[in-house]
Structure formats: structure tokens, C-alpha cells
Structure 1
Amino acid sequence: MRIREGADRDLITLQDIERAAGRCFRDLGMDAVADDEPPSLAMLGRYARAGGLWVAAETAADRPVAYVLVEAVDGNTHVEQISVHPDRARRGIGRALIEHVAARARAAGVPALTLATFTEVPWNAPYYERCGFRRLAPEELTPGLRKIRAEEALAGLDRWPRVCMWRDLGTA
């Protein structure tokens, strides 16, 4: 599996990946999440132009099978979204994307990776804990993470338990 920067030619494929990955939430009774629209082409394009879109594909020229969106939040690298097509799940692709992002952040002197996720979805918080993240207590949230959580609440995601997570990169 190769990881490369995402490009405009990938964006429609990324929406397809997101729709397919989202359908897995239906099995957990999370139909609203399953039915949620993927990030818009404009949003994906903004991440790509800002250097915050990475994709995984068999070869550099192949269509992506997974992607990660990252942005700076309070001096850390925040994983906004990571999605793997369900046909390619459980093969270490998501972990490879996380490790790629961690290596780039570490090389840039960024102290940590952060993310917000569902606590009770097996491929969310429990998975990220296996990838070296820890759950943050509410009083540990940075201003940017508090803002992200407030936006998630407004979007209705708090119908299911959520948590922010932190992975120290050892650069502080």
C-alpha cells in the first residue's frame, strides 16, 4: 500500500469511500451517521491544497482505498477524518495512515495527534487506543478541541457518546 498526498483527481473517490464506510454504522443502529453526506468536494479540495489530505492506494497511480484529513488545532495535528473502504478494512491501512501522519507531525516538531470519535464504536475509540491514543478527560481539552466538540454537538453527534483523544509524539 502506498500513501501519497491527495489530489483533485481523488476527491470523488474519497466521497465514495466515505459513503461505503458510513454504511457500517447502520449495523450499530446509527442510521443518522450512516446517512450523513461525505465531506464536500470543496472541503476535500481545501484539505488537499493545505497539505492535509493523504490517501492510501495500491500504487501511486491507483485509485485510493482510504484517506485521512488532518489540520492544525492548538499546535497539534488533529485527525479530522479517517476512512477506509470496508472492502479493504482490517488490513492495517488505517493504522498505516495514522503512522504516516504521526511521522510527518513528529518530523515537524508537533507534540501530539488529536482526534474526536465515538466511544462505543469498535473501529473508533477502542481502535485508536490500540494505535497509542488515550482518552482525554473534559478538563484536558484544549480550546480548539472544545470548539470541535461544540460543533459536533450542534451537528447532533452527541446522540452517541463521544470523546477526544490524544497521542503524544514525544517532541515536546
Structure 2
Amino acid sequence: MPSRCRPGPVPLPLRRPFRTTLPVPRPGRALRRGEVIRSADARSPARRRGRGRQNGRMRIRAARLEDVPVLQEIERAAGEVFREVGMPEIAADEPFSDEEFEPFLAAGLAWVAADGGDRPVAYLLAERVDGDLHVEQVSVHPGSARQGLGRALIDRAARRAADEGLPALTLTTFAEVPWNAPYYARCGFTVLDGPQIGPQLRAVREREAAHGLDRWPRVCMRRAVRPQDGAP
């Protein structure tokens, strides 16, 4: 799917719009109002330092070129949950190509959650948009769902934003899919209204709409960077 070119020193290719493929409730159990997916390492010193951050047996680290085939597998598997909510077109969306991953890797804006064998089971990609750090993609393999990996990856991106002096994380996502906007709200994101949306983020939404993504309601969201996000 087409998306956008990011202005800046590391140009990103035109590619499809953001979709979030995060943990979903176990089969047969509805997501409860106010339920929070907690990160096991939310208060640990390793989390605050960031390198090799642990989440149980999981480790958050920078993504590497050799991870790309596994990341593509993760996205295919995670995308299947969209079929369950009547969005088969999103489920059928192809993963990023090798070439599309490369700029994120080169910019140091790609992270994975790796298991005890150092195999990625989740990943996040980010880019700079309107002076914020924009979460471009988050995917968690269904076999590793409900372990706080999406939240841990978001926290890692927030620390990078804090280290760079950026004021916030942003993203675009589906408003009514339980593991999209409602999940991000529990992670501290709030919905932006029209005047709050910067020109580059607005361009993202315009391209998504032109591609037909507004068949399902979508929103822009923002989470301010907090002092603890950059704690050593």
C-alpha cells in the first residue's frame, strides 16, 4: 500500500499506511473496559537504561538487517487478526519489503523484542514527523501476545524521543479496532483534533484517505514525552 515519503536526511520510500498489529484478547474472552497490558519490566533499571532491556525472557534491542525476514513473518501472522473484525483487506496487506525496512534500520529507528534465542517476536518502526517521533509500525506475533511487548517497544521509542529532545510520540491508527486506538489510549496517547495535527501528519492522513483507509474510522494520536522516558 502507498503511504508517504518522510522529509529529512534519510528519505523513506513511498509505502503503505500504518496498521497496528498488537496483542488481542484470548479467544472467547472480550477485552474488558480499562484493561491494561502491563510490561513485566515497567520499573526495572534495565528498562530505564534501555540496552538489552528485559521483559521476562524477552529483550528489547535494535533491529538488524538479518532480522528482516523474521519481521515480515511477524507482520503476516499478526495481521491475520484483522479478519476477525471484518477487515480482510488489512489482513491481506503485504509486509514491508527488504528495501522499505532499510532506511529505518539505517536511521536507528527500528527495534525488536527478541526471545531467549535472540529471535524477534515483535517490532516497532519510527520516523520523525512534524518534530515528533512518529510510530510508523508496531507488530507482535500472536504467539507472544499478552506479554507487554507492544508497550515495551513504545516505551523504547519514547526514550529515543526523550534522548533527542523531541516533545512527543505520534501515530495514526484505526479508531474502533480494540487493539488500535483503545489500546494506545491505555498507553497514554490521546486523540488529536484538526488544529492539533501538524502539516506532515495531516499529509499522512490525506494519503491514507486517498488509499481508502477511511473506510474504517482512523485517528491521529499523541503521547507527550515524560521526564521518566529519558531516565538513565
The TM-score bracket by the shorter chain reads: over 0.9
Q: Which residue in 2 is equivalent to 1:139?
A: 195
Which of 124, 134, 138 is the matching residue for 1:78?
Answer: 134
- 1:95 partnered with 2:142: no
- The structure, 1 or 2, with the larger RCO (C-alpha pairs under 8 Å, 6+ apart) is 2
Partner of 1:169: 225
State how far apart, in whole Å, the 1-side matches of 2:105 and 2:86 are: 32
TM-score where L is the length of structure 2: 0.71
Partner of 2:94: 37
1:158 counterpart = 2:201: no
Structure 1 position 139, deviation (Å): 2.2
- Alpha-carbon offset, residue 39 of structure 1: 1.1
1:47 is the counterpart of 2:91 = no
The amino acid across from 2:165 in the alignment is G
Report if aligned partners of 1:11, 1:45 keep a CA contact under 8 Å in 2: no
* TM-score where L is the length of structure 1: 0.95
- Code of the residue aligned with 1:91 in structure 2: it is Q
TM-superposed CA distance for 1:170, in Å, is 4.1
Q: Which structure is larger by alpha-carbon Rg, 1 or 2?
A: 2
Measured in 2, the distance between the counterparts of 1:66 and 1:102 equals 17
Distance (whole Å) between structure 1 residues aligned to residue 70 and residue 103 of structure 2: 16
SS in 1 for 2:146: coil
Q: Distance in 1 between matches of 2:211 and 2:66?
A: 29
TM-superposed deviation, 1:55:
0.6
Question: Which consecutive aligned stretches of 4+ in structure 1 deviate over 2 angstroms post-superposition?
Answer: none
Counterpart of 1:123?
Answer: 179
Q: Does 1:10 align with 2:67?
A: yes
Cα-Cα RMSD: 1.1
1:89 and 1:154 map into 2 onto residues whose CA distance is 32
Q: Deviations over 1:86-109 (max 9, x none)?
A: 111111000000011111211221
Percentage of pairs with the same residue: 57
Name 2:161's counterpart in structure 1: 105
Unaligned residue ranges in structure 1 (runs of 5+): none
Q: 1:56 Cα shift?
A: 0.6
Q: In structure 2, what residue type is equivalent to 1:7?
A: R
Q: Distance in 2 between matches of 1:44 and 1:155?
A: 21
State the 1:151 CA deviation: 1.4
How far apart are 1:157 and its partner, in Å?
Answer: 1.1
Cα offset, 1:154, TM superposition = 2.1
Supply the AA of the counterpart residue of 1:80: E
Measured after TM superposition, the shift of residue 128 of structure 1 is: 0.3
Which ranges in structure 2 are unaligned for 5 or more consecutive residues?
1-57, 228-232
Structure with the larger helix share: 1
